Structure 1
Amino acid sequence: MTEAKKKIKRSRNGCHNCKRLKIKCDELKPSCSYCVKTASKCDYSLKLTWGGRPYKDSTKRRQQHVTPTTAASTPAPLDTVQFVVQSFDPSTHDPQSPQTTTGSISSPHIQEDPNVHFDLHTNDPEKQDNFLTNYEEDIARAELYMPETPSYFARDYQPIRSSQETAVYSIPPQITPLPTLLLEVPFYRDLLHFWVNVASHHLVPAPVKVYQDNPFKMILTQMAMEYPSILTTLLAFSAKLRSVLIDSNDTPEFVIEQLLTRSCTEMLKILRDRTSAISNVALATSLLLSCFEAFNCKDFGKHRTHVIGARQIIKARSALPMSRGPDTGTERDITFFLMRWFVYIDIIGSLSSARNSDNYLLVADDVTSYEPVESVTSLNEIDDHHDPKRAIDHLMGFDVKFLPHLAKITLLIRKTERYLQEAPGSTSIPISIVQEALEVKDAMVGILAQDDDVMLEAHEQMEKDKRKRKNSSTNQTSPPEIVSMIQENTILRYTNRIFCDTGIIHLYRRVLKIPRTSPLVQELVNGIGKLAKDHIESQSPTDVCCIFCFFTAGCETLNQDMRQFFQQRFEKLIAMGNTSAKRGLEIMKRCWETDEDWISAAKQLDLDITLL
């Protein structure tokens, strides 16, 4: 008689160490017995995996991870996107234990498989719902640190212990009434106030007066009033930006973690339904989480995970017909906003990442188009709105027409790298790559010239309006708002040129392998430095949004005065708490010392970076 096999009771809510080692966890909080015994960090945090479970074979996992998709491929049906969320128990969070990483979202394995089914692993939906409707922990965490005195930033009062009436009046009326979470937790109202009046302006290069309909301020905040996953992620992002811009200790991590815990739990609810899983809400939440992790600068793997999640949502949505209305292609169009946001992250991320750049722009090298870029450019070409922002996109700071060419530069970089790997010792680039690179360069220069003409015409019209208003007024001085508009609109003309020249620098250095000493390279990098020095204010939102361009120019310049300028510019960003600037300056200095390219310098310094 054979002995009955002993049934093993699995631990569904164990810590990640025990799960990784496949041992039973006793689930003690804050640390299980095994982690206490081995002096290991015990982590019960939520892990969000976009795309399904990975192969056990690491070789297959790498191959699956980098498999590109083509724009010509058939759109993924709605039931082919898989989101796997590991167990999460919100009842375990202790407001007195700030060291617990309760709100982290990460993905140790990323897999994109077009043939997987929709699957969701949750723990206890009822317990999650109870957590989402209970605000005692949020209040307790905020009260642990909340100062009694107010803080000031950018001449704008930021209430700390504001009454409900004060907080509501400080928030634009079009985004009220406020959700229960904001009414119950006063400090969260302060964070929303900071987002609307300060933080949202630091995410776009266009000056505030020029970009009154900034979608980070208008669209995203309005969506947050209706959808809790967006609200809690937005508040966490606002808290992080507030800590950087005001004081490094302004908002402790455990308050941000509590908000991210809510974001994760709300995301679980969204992913239970196939329709909501590919909605604008899911896409906006993924993009917010992606930008939060990039700004947080602690683990760019998390940032790239959410980029891949956003891409899967967009791929699944491509099977749906695109509806058009009176707001289609305008700043009021949610889809247009989210698609531009994603494409910007995807393309600039592919050019600015020191590692794993293949996590971005997952498209075959030989395709002639990239579907997300095509969607953005087609929406931007709707010309019945007569929108002055059509020339230079205020959200990105450059012409939308540059997007396919910047994407092409990334694909040419990959072609060149693959060729040099397959032909070690070769010093020449195939003529086909050279020809494609020169075509991209000529196209970008042509677009820039057209944009300059359009901007000059717009400025001439503003001058006419200024003279007309001046002549019709008893006051003989020029209307200050028009003078300011001309000056601030000119800034976008400069950012447009800066991004164009940055793309061409990557084309010269990384595709054509033109040496740094070439006058072609030095003219472009020093030109970027001069524009920054003369026209872009240090520590301004425009300065922050052009960090990728200034980093590129700083690494390549041979001019000592320019090196000193870029060093000072980055040191000022570091003083603001910009961690990406700190890493960027380290890489920049090594380029100056060793004459390495910035990718090699980052590798030698063991630094990961993505500049958005």
Structure 2
Amino acid sequence: MPPADGGKPRRSRTGCHNCRRLHRKCDETKPACLGCLDLGKQCVYSLRVSWGGRPFNKSSFGKCLKTAAVAAIPTTESLDADQARLNEEANEDTSFIYGLARTRHSTAEAELGSRNSSNSSRVTSPLQASPANPIRVDAIAPSIYQNPSHLSQLPASHRLLLDHFCHAVTRSFSLHLATHHGFCMTYLPLALDPAAGNGLLPAVLEAAALHRKSLGLYDNERELIAFRHASIFQFKLPTIGENPVEDDKALAMALILCLCDILAGGEKANSWQLHLQGAIAMIQQVSEGRSTSQESDIRKFLRRWCESLEVLSILGPDSKSAGQTVEASSLDYIDEFHGFCRGLIPIFQEVHLLLIECQSLQGMLGLVGPSHPMVEKMSYVIEQRCQTAINGVKSSLSQTSHTFHPGIQSYMSPQVQSEFISLNQAFHHGILLHLYRRVQGSPPTDPNVEASVQAIILHLSELGLRDEACPGVAMLQPLFDAGCQSYSQHHRDSVIDLMNALEKRYGMGNVSRARTFLQEYWTEFDQQRSRGVDLHWSTYIKLKGWELSLY
């Protein structure tokens, strides 16, 4: 249909398929245009997709070819084949890989095979590539590096330690795969940031080296000292509160130094507690007047880790922590950082305060005697508070349903949930042992004490120790609690067997140190018991100057 003005029909871009095919103007009448009705054709409208973009020579790849040509590098083993035969087969299909060759725009020749200079092949400029005449590098093939690493700037020994940190160290104290992933995603980017300059990389390497040493896979003491020196020397504490990123780096550094001393067995006096106290102080300072909901993901993760370290250190002898980093929450779920329900944390704090009051009461007894009215009042208050705490633990133990952190509950397997519940119950009985023995002063033969020791061993025996993050990695604290209150040989043997399995599987230095302490304590306990003296482990550990970390 010619146009009304007699000119050339304009092309229709939104018309029907027939009009566009015939390059004629379509009146776009629906369901059928007038042109198709006149011709008796089926009128079909379809969506036309137009692929736009820059011309090839102006694209990124096109610009790249201005300075580099694509070369076909033979991949067959017969690289010394006859040149004439290769020229005859130039138009045949050849198996090749893509490489880059310099063009006349280059300022120097392209050097191939730098490892073997005598057999290297140089492609001189200018080089032209075209479909009809592809560039061929037919001399001896160059050295082609496979699987290039973004850690190539690190020595091979350091790359090995980094890999060990990711796959072994963090797994050894992560109760869940999400926690394990969180440690890697938090520490690796910070440690490998070239602009960080905060000593995190040598501290991470030190943690990995200490763990390998406990496994018998590392004995380079000089390098270990160098790692510690570099991490401390490069650690620059920022002005807390001015730069959140720098605050996160400093907090991560303090916690990894704490971990290093734990991996070493916690044998240096107050070393791991010193770093933990530094991390706690930083968290308190950066949290003043700020909502935790506005924190970065890194800060939230580090806060939860710091909280778990602090809570587990509360019941140690002369603990300097009281739960300053504990985040208030109305939810009571089994925390994958702690291994027990969050409702038990206030009872940890209460036991800590009761132990302090018991020490004060003992000092008062030496001054005024047991019959003094103040001593009687204080004893009554301690006993009432202790009984309330015991009832609270038993009430929590009686719960039949358990929940987990909202972020991981949906993908926890029934086996993992069951193991978390067993671990949670073991921690409950561990708290009961502290209340029975250290606050109430019950003897080790008390039925309540024996029942809790037996329950801890039973629940911990239900945990699987696997080569992955799992609840079993956190059994040391309740296992140590049971060991300290075990006076029968079969209970002691069970405790040692579980500790041996834990150390063999995960190689944590604090496990062997805790086992050594228990064996020494049992010997002394039996000797004192034969004389009618009930020697508490907390008294013995202070007398001998032992330093333990049970994380």
Which range, TM-score by smaller chain? 0.5 to 0.7
Deviations 1:466-506 (A, max 9, x none): xxxxxxxxxxxxxxxx9x92222211111111111111211
Deviations 1:178-198 (A, max 9, x none): 5xxx72322211111111112
Query: Which residue does the alignment assign to 2:387?
Result: 438
Distance 2:503 2:358 in 1: 34
Query: Which residue does the alignment assign to 1:133?
Result: none
Aligned pair count reads 382
Deviations 1:421-469 (A, max 9, x none): 111364977221122222222223333444x41259x9xx99xxxxxxx
Distance 2:480 2:525 in 1: 11
Instruction: Specify whether residues 520 and 243 from structure 1 end up closer, same or farther in structure 2 by C-alpha distance, changes over 3 A only.
Output: same
Which one of 564, 568, 580 corresponds to residue 513 of structure 2?
580
Instruction: Specify whether residues 323 and 516 from structure 1 end up closer, same or farther in structure 2 by C-alpha distance, changes over 3 A only.
Output: closer
Query: Which residue does the alignment assign to 1:239?
Result: 209
Distance 1:289 1:262 in 2: 12
Conservation of the 8 A alpha-carbon contact between 2:460 and 2:475: no
Instruction: Specify whether residues 598 and 371 from structure 1 end up closer, same or farther in structure 2 by C-alpha distance, changes over 3 A only.
Output: closer
> Which structure 1 segments of 5+ residues have no match?
1-162, 169-176, 362-369, 382-389, 463-481
Residue 530, structure 1, aligned to residue 469, structure 2? no
Shift of 1:572: 4.7
Instruction: Specify whether residues 496 and 164 from structure 1 end up closer, same or farther in structure 2 by C-alpha distance, changes over 3 A only.
Output: farther
Secondary structure, counterpart of 2:402 in structure 1: helix
Instruction: Specify whether residues 224 and 193 from structure 1 end up closer, same or farther in structure 2 by C-alpha distance, changes over 3 A only.
Output: same
Which one of 392, 395, 418 corresponds to residue 490 of structure 1?
418
Which one of 402, 408, 412 corresponds to residue 454 of structure 1?
402
Query: Which residue does the alignment assign to 2:57?
Result: none
Instruction: Specify whether residues 585 and 214 from structure 1 end up closer, same or farther in structure 2 by C-alpha distance, changes over 3 A only.
Output: farther
Instruction: Specify whether residues 272 and 516 from structure 1 end up closer, same or farther in structure 2 by C-alpha distance, changes over 3 A only.
Output: same
Instruction: Specify whether residues 488 and 544 from structure 1 end up closer, same or farther in structure 2 by C-alpha distance, changes over 3 A only.
Output: closer
Query: Which residue does the alignment assign to 2:478?
Result: 549
Which one of 540, 546, 551 corresponds to residue 607 of structure 1?
546
Deviations 1:121-141 (A, max 9, x none): xxxxxxxxxxxxxxxxxxxxx
Conservation of the 8 A alpha-carbon contact between 1:290 and 1:303: yes
Conservation of the 8 A alpha-carbon contact between 1:204 and 1:396: no
Conservation of the 8 A alpha-carbon contact between 1:203 and 1:216: no
Distance 2:502 2:523 in 1: 16
Query: Which residue does the alignment assign to 2:185?
Result: 218
Query: Which residue does the alignment assign to 1:307?
Result: 276
* TM-score, length of structure 1 as denominator length: 0.56
Distance 2:542 2:179 in 1: 41
Which one of 563, 584, 593 corresponds to residue 492 of structure 2?
563
Identity score, percent: 20
Distance 2:241 2:402 in 1: 44
Alignment of 1:39-438 (within 5 A): 168=149, 178=151, 183-206=153-176, 208=177, 211=178, 214-226=181-193, 227=196, 228-245=198-215, 247=216, 250-268=218-236, 270-271=237-238, 275=242, 279-296=247-264, 297-322=266-291, 324=293, 333-353=297-317, 357-361=318-322, 371-373=324-326, 376-378=327-329, 381=331, 391-424=333-366, 426=370, 430-438=379-387
Conservation of the 8 A alpha-carbon contact between 1:444 and 1:500: yes
Distance 1:555 1:497 in 2: 18
Secondary structure, counterpart of 1:184 in structure 2: coil
Shift of 1:418: 0.8
Distance 2:282 2:234 in 1: 17
Secondary structure, counterpart of 2:314 in structure 1: helix
Conservation of the 8 A alpha-carbon contact between 2:483 and 2:518: no
Secondary structure, counterpart of 1:324 in structure 2: helix
Distance 2:146 2:537 in 1: 51
Instruction: Specify whether residues 241 and 408 from structure 1 end up closer, same or farther in structure 2 by C-alpha distance, changes over 3 A only.
Output: same
Distance 2:546 2:370 in 1: 28
Secondary structure, counterpart of 1:300 in structure 2: coil
AA aligned opposite 1:218: M
Instruction: Specify whether residues 260 and 276 from structure 1 end up closer, same or farther in structure 2 by C-alpha distance, changes over 3 A only.
Output: farther
Query: Which residue does the alignment assign to 1:590?
Result: 524
Conservation of the 8 A alpha-carbon contact between 1:555 and 1:591: no
Shift of 1:261: 2.1
Conservation of the 8 A alpha-carbon contact between 1:164 and 1:186: no
Instruction: Specify whether residues 611 and 229 from structure 1 end up closer, same or farther in structure 2 by C-alpha distance, changes over 3 A only.
Output: same
Secondary structure, counterpart of 2:184 in structure 1: coil
Secondary structure, counterpart of 1:282 in structure 2: helix
**Does 424-433 or 494-503 show the bigger shift?**
424-433
Shift of 1:335: 2.5
Secondary structure, counterpart of 2:273 in structure 1: helix
Shift of 1:514: 1.9
AA aligned opposite 1:570: M
Instruction: Specify whether residues 604 and 300 from structure 1 end up closer, same or farther in structure 2 by C-alpha distance, changes over 3 A only.
Output: closer
Instruction: Specify whether residues 183 and 426 from structure 1 end up closer, same or farther in structure 2 by C-alpha distance, changes over 3 A only.
Output: farther
AA aligned opposite 1:307: L
Shift of 1:515: 1.9
AA aligned opposite 1:312: A
AA aligned opposite 1:339: R
Instruction: Specify whether residues 235 and 290 from structure 1 end up closer, same or farther in structure 2 by C-alpha distance, changes over 3 A only.
Output: same
AA aligned opposite 1:229: G
Conservation of the 8 A alpha-carbon contact between 2:334 and 2:340: yes
AA aligned opposite 1:435: Q
Distance 2:153 2:456 in 1: 47
Distance 2:432 2:454 in 1: 13
Conservation of the 8 A alpha-carbon contact between 2:427 and 2:478: yes
AA aligned opposite 2:520: E
Deviations 1:90-111 (A, max 9, x none): xxxxxxxxxxxxxxxxxxxxxx
Deviations 1:205-251 (A, max 9, x none): 34x4xx46642233233333334533321221111112223x1x514
Shift of 1:550: 0.7
**Structure of higher CA gyration radius:** 2
Conservation of the 8 A alpha-carbon contact between 1:538 and 1:569: no
Distance 2:313 2:320 in 1: 9
Distance 1:187 1:417 in 2: 50
Shift of 1:202: 0.4
Shift of 1:536: 4.4
Distance 2:314 2:146 in 1: 45
Conservation of the 8 A alpha-carbon contact between 2:465 and 2:472: yes
AA aligned opposite 2:227: L
Conservation of the 8 A alpha-carbon contact between 1:293 and 1:300: no
AA aligned opposite 1:609: L
Shift of 1:524: 0.5
**Does 249-258 or 419-428 show the bigger shift?**
419-428
Cα RMSD, aligned residues only: 3.3
Distance 1:218 1:447 in 2: 34
Instruction: Specify whether residues 310 and 535 from structure 1 end up closer, same or farther in structure 2 by C-alpha distance, changes over 3 A only.
Output: closer
Shift of 1:549: 1.2
**Does 337-346 or 532-541 show the bigger shift?**
532-541
Distance 2:550 2:314 in 1: 10
Shift of 1:323: 5.3
AA aligned opposite 2:461: K
AA aligned opposite 1:275: E
> Which structure 2 segments of 5+ residues have no match?
1-143, 530-534
Conservation of the 8 A alpha-carbon contact between 2:308 and 2:337: no
Distance 1:552 1:191 in 2: 33
Deviations 1:501-538 (A, max 9, x none): 11121111111222221111110111101122343449
